[in-house]
Amino acid sequence: MQRPFEGIRVIDATHVLAGPFAAYQLALLGADVIKVEHPEESDQSRETGSDRALNRARMGTSFLTQSSNKRALTLDLKTPAGQEIFRRLIATADVLVENYRPGALDALGLGYDALSAINPRLIYASMSAFGSRGPRREHTAYDYVIQATSGIMAMTGTPDVNPIKFGSPAIDYATGTTGAFALASALFQRERTGRGQRIDMAMLDVAMILMGSHITAYLRNGAHPKPNGNANEYATNSCYETKDGLLMLGASNMRQYRRLWRVLERPEMIKASREEREHARAQETAVLSDILMARTADEWEAFFQARHVPAARVRSMADALADPHLGVRGIRHTHAGAQGVEGAFGVPVAAFQFADGGPRVDTPPPAVGQHTDAILAELGYDANAVATLRAQKVV
C-alpha cells in the first residue's frame, strides 16, 4: 500500500534535533525530504554523538538518528544565487520546515509572505525555542534550557537533589513529534481548502503541554508539583529495592491495588479509597520494602505480570534494546553502511505501526550535499551551471 506522504516534497531547512526529527517522521512515511545545509557550516548534529570518528566525518550519531530517507543539498542562503535556487525549490514543494532565528528568513526575502506568493499551497512551518510571537521571541535555547525555563526541571529529582534535567532530550523529541502531527494536520486541511498554512511552533509550548495535568492542578488550587524522585503519590506506584536491583511498581487503579495486596497475601492492607491510600502511604511503603527484598527484580516482575499487576525491573538501555519484544515491534532499523560510515549501524524508526503502508526506512542518512547535483538538475541547472555555483561556493 502507498505510504501516506508519497508524492509530498518537504524542504528540511532545520538543524540539531527537533526540526530534523519532525521531517524524519514524514520521510519514514514516504515524503521526499530534502535537507538543506550551508556548504561549509552543516547541521551541527553531524559533529555530535558517541563516535568521534563519525563526528569528524560529519556523520555523527546524533545526525544519523533522524536522517534516513532524506536527500541532502548544500546551499548558501545568504547569496542571491542561493536564494534563487531556494525559491525554485519551494515552487516544487509542499512543506517547508525551518528553525532559523525568528525573522531570519524574512530578512533574506524567504519569509512566509514571500514564499507563499510563489507557492500558495505551501505549508510553512517555523520551529523555534519560544515561537515567533511574545516577549521571548528573540531568545535562544536548547532542550535543557527549555527544561529549566518551563518548570519541568524544578519538578524532577528527589526532595534532596533537585532540580534535575531529563536524561534524554525529551523536549526536542516531543517538539519533533508534535511538529510532525502539525504538518500532517496542515496537509490534511489543505486537501479540503486548497490553501497552504503557516505553522508557528515553540519548544516552550510543547514543554508546557507535557505538564498538562500539573498545569491544570496548579491553576485550580496552586498545587505546585514537587520533585519526589521514584516515589509517586501512592506506595503501590513507586520504586523499591529488591534482592538484586530496583523494581518499579505500577498498581495504580483500585482494582490493581487490591489485586497486588491479595497476591502478596496481605489483604488487610487494602484501603477503601484513594484518599485512604494517600494517608497510608508510609505504612504501605514500609510493608512493601520488606516484602520485595525477598526476591530478585526479575522474579518479582514475572510474578506480578503473571497476575496482571503492572511492574518492571529498572533496566539499562542495553537491557531494554536486548529485549526480544523490541525486535518484534520494528522500532529500529539496521543500515549495512552509508557514505562516510563504515560498517553497520542502527537507527530508531517510528513509535507506531500500520497494517499496510506504514513507516519504513529505505535509504541511509546522506553525506553533506550528497544529492546536490541531482536536485539541481531536477530544478533545471545543467552541469556547467552547477560547476559555476560550486566555484562561487553557493552550493
**Catalytic residue positions?**
172
Whole-angstrom Cα distance, residue 121 to residue 283? 62
- What radius of gyration do the chain's Cα atoms show? 25
Residue 20 contacts residue 43 (beta carbons within 8 Å)? yes
Burial class (CB in 10 A: 0-12, 13-18, 19+), 79: middle
Whole-angstrom Cα distance, residue 201 to residue 181? 11
How far, CA to CA in Å, does 332 sit from each of 69, 128, 312, 358, 359?
Answer: 14, 28, 22, 14, 11
- The rounded Cα 209 to chain-centroid distance in angstroms is 14
Residue 11 contacts residue 95 (beta carbons within 8 Å)? yes
- The rounded Cα 206 to chain-centroid distance in angstroms is 11
